[in-house]
Amino acid sequence: MKLTHQTPKVLAIAILFITGVSCSVVRNKHQEENYQLVFEDHFNGSTYNPAFWSSFESQKHSAPWNHYVVNDEQLAEVKNGYLHMRARWNSKTNLPETGAILTKNKFSFKYGKIEVRAKFSSAGQGGWPAIWLMPQNEVYPGWPHGGEIDIMERLNTDSFVHQVVHQTNGETKHVSTGATPSIKTEDYNTYSVVKLPNRIEFYVNDQLTMVHHPHDEFEEKWPFETDYYIILNHACADKGTSGVNFWPGSVTSTKNFPYEMAVDYVKVWKIKE
């Protein structure tokens, strides 16, 4: 996600390491021995828990991801033990309406592990669901100076997802890096980030996909040694009428709407003292 007007949680741009499946699974499981569960939501109620989550409110100067956010419970519906993040098409306005919830000012963490299990129940051209982190308390103010950690972004009906970090170099240059691991498109996948001092690890289905740490142009203005909050959303492009440059491209058909990401759970562990 590209956030141009807020100060949420961030993930720094990192050096990339690709490792074998067996080693990555062992490392991830081994680390869990040092964790203490501090946040857990299985969405067992009739609505999302207001003690944890708030709806993102539309803003006058919006970024592409939140350009069509609407505060409507149907776009972040809790039903049968799942959170259903949706993007629907409004036939009257001929524009999308999208859901977004976040834990800003309610829950954030500095170091630890976050894991989200989710499935794409319905998808199509222009869809852009995401699970990500932004800084609760920025080290450097403004995006992308404050950093951003994208645990998962999916475009359209891709068979892979994007895991990305954003920040700046020591000056004003926006720098980012990422991985594009494959997923099970018809089933649930788990998306994880382990956030450590000067190190951020990315996982999909317990397989290590990327490691990011301060290096080269990412070292001087490393913004990630602070606490981050969680954002779950299902962004969507329009048909090109707004002139906004949406990452997945424009919607070409409204046949498959509503698009939906079903979330089974969100868990966060902190590192034991």
Domains of the chain: 21-246+260-271 (2.60.120.200)
For residue 118, the cross-strand partners are: 189, 263
- In this predicted structure, the answer to whether residue 107 has a pLDDT above a threshold of 60 is yes
Residue 225, Cβ density class (10 Å: 0-12 exposed, 13-18 middle, ≥19 buried) = middle
pLDDT of residue 272: 83
**What confidence category does residue 254 fall into, taking pLDDT thresholds of 50, 70 and 90?**
very high
Catalytic residue among 77, 148, 201, 260: 148
Catalytic residue among 77, 153, 201, 260: 153
- CA dist 211 and 199 (Å) reads 7
**What confidence category does residue 24 fall into, taking pLDDT thresholds of 50, 70 and 90?**
very low
- Average pLDDT of the chain is 88
- CA dist 8 and 203 (Å) reads 21
153 catalytic residue (yes or no): yes
pLDDT of residue 61: 60
DSSP code for 182: B
pLDDT of residue 186: 93
